[in-house]
Amino acid sequence: MILIGWSSQLEETGEQFMVRIEIEGRGVLIAGPLEDIARRFEDEFVRRGFTRKSLMNQLRLLAHLSRWLQARGIAVGELTAGQVEVFLAERRRTHTGLFSRKALGPTLEWLAYEGVIPAAATIAPTATDPVELVGFEGYLRVERHLAASTIAANVARARRFLAGYAPPEGAVALTAAEVTRALLDEGVTRRPVSVKAFGYTLRALLRFFFITGVTSHDLSAATLVIRSPQPSRLPVGASRDEVAALLVSCDRDTSAGLRDHAVLLLLAHLGLRAIEVARLRLDDLDWRRGEILVRGKGNRDERLPLPAEVGEAVVAYLQEARPAGVGFREVFAADRAPLRPLTREAVGGIVERACDRASLARFGAHRLRHTLGEQMVAAAVPLDAIGQVLRHETALTTAGYARVDVTALRDLAQPWPAMTGGGRS
């Protein structure tokens, strides 16, 4: 039970009133400029589904922030992002947890939404990127149509390169020497696969600089070729029994079980990528036509038929388990507060936890995509049709599935010629 009331102890002493919030016998005292909104804060976070522990943590952060503002004479409506950083820095020195931007995020976002603090206070201050890097980010987004996570990774590598190796005059003065030195230094402390990714980013960045006139020469040739040989891997899917075990492991008497069951069916029966499941929106489900709009890689949107079993699982989740009143259109939501759309990583976690429940060795969401590919190969579906269903960008990607049909490959194999004459010719 959640109770809220005035602190009788402070009433007797004649001091400023405080708000005391009690949750299952544990209380938080909130004094200072934020005490007036404590009741609304509590009600909203209960509505969002915060657990008792999470709600107490947010209330403690609210109480500490309110006391800190009062002690320093800072008006709530004038709070800045820099002052938030000072508050967190002081909290790190005096507390053992809940001292990051991420921890304080839900409180700040709600305060800004209610107009209590300026919206700018919720944004972590960052160093201003050079205009060339801003242009590179726009190029990756508009011209290359890369995913937001890929753009962020490339921009982070490019930022690190420019900060550490660009001459004082800026990117315009870059030479092949800085490029080579950056790659060699990268190889000292990082794995080959990381160095390879760094090289790809530099090559794209330097080509962009040359095309846009930032540099007078194309320095992309100075990026060393990083060879990191990888074994040729076959696309290996889960067996039918393993997929069945994953589905059975979902407790459909719970909200999380209904959600996980629908997610697993989308992965295994439609071959969606984890990010595609996370991006799925209510508007993408065309119930009349029995179709689903898949928002794929490279901003490619394609429609697929929605099998009855998958559609029924999604309907069951939407009707019985999806939280009401969420402010987003994505189909799948987290089952713990704060309520937010699932991420690619969360979809992968659903598969891994299902593996644990089914007593299977853990594997990722992409393996279920391979499962569909293998099943189509076994059913003698042509490779070009498999590529359409899995939405491969090139036929070369689909060709990998031809290697998993061992029976067909055995028929193609020619017998080893018998040796004649008792020796080599």
Catalytic site residue from 48, 91, 259, 369: 369
Q: Which residues pair with 108 in a beta bridge?
A: none
Quote the CA–CA distance of 136 and 266 in Å, as a whole number.
Answer: 35
Catalytic site residue from 297, 340, 344, 353: 297
Quote the CA–CA distance of 128 and 139 in Å, as a whole number.
Answer: 18
CA angle 50, 35, 93 (to 5 degrees): 75
Tokens of 282: 């209510």
Burial status of residue 70 (CB atoms within 10 A of its CB: 0-12, 13-18, 19 or more)? middle
CB within 8 A of 375, min separation 6: which ones? 237
Q: Rounded to the nearest 5°, which phi and psi values hold at 424?
A: -85, 145
Tokens of 231: 């074994």
Q: Is 297 annotated as catalytic?
A: yes
Tokens of 170: 């800026």
Q: Is 392 annotated as catalytic?
A: yes
Q: Which helix (H) or strand (E) holds 30?
A: strand 26-30
Quote the CA–CA distance of 391 and 270 in Å, as a whole number.
Answer: 11
Q: Is 95 annotated as catalytic?
A: no
CA angle 196, 200, 205 (to 5 degrees): 145
CA angle 353, 356, 358 (to 5 degrees): 110
Q: Is 329 annotated as catalytic?
A: no
Catalytic site residue from 269, 273, 367, 370: 273
Q: How far is residue 263 CA from its own chain's centroid?
A: 16
Quote the CA–CA distance of 316 and 26 in Å, as a whole number.
Answer: 38
Q: Which residues pair with 302 in a beta bridge?
A: 294
Assess contact for 318 and 331: CB atoms under 8 A: yes
Quote the CA–CA distance of 168 and 295 in Å, as a whole number.
Answer: 43
Q: What is the bridge-based pairing of β-strands 291-295 and 301-305? A: antiparallel
Q: Is 145 annotated as catalytic?
A: no
Q: Is 366 annotated as catalytic?
A: yes
Residue 207: name the closest of 224, 219, 225 by CA.
219
| Helices and strands, number each (H, E), in the chain | 18, 6
Per the omega criterion (within 30 degrees of 0), is the bond before 167 cis? Answer: no
Catalytic site residue from 64, 252, 259, 392: 392
Quote the CA–CA distance of 241 and 248 in Å, as a whole number.
Answer: 10
- Catalytic amino acids? 273, 297, 366, 369, 392, 401
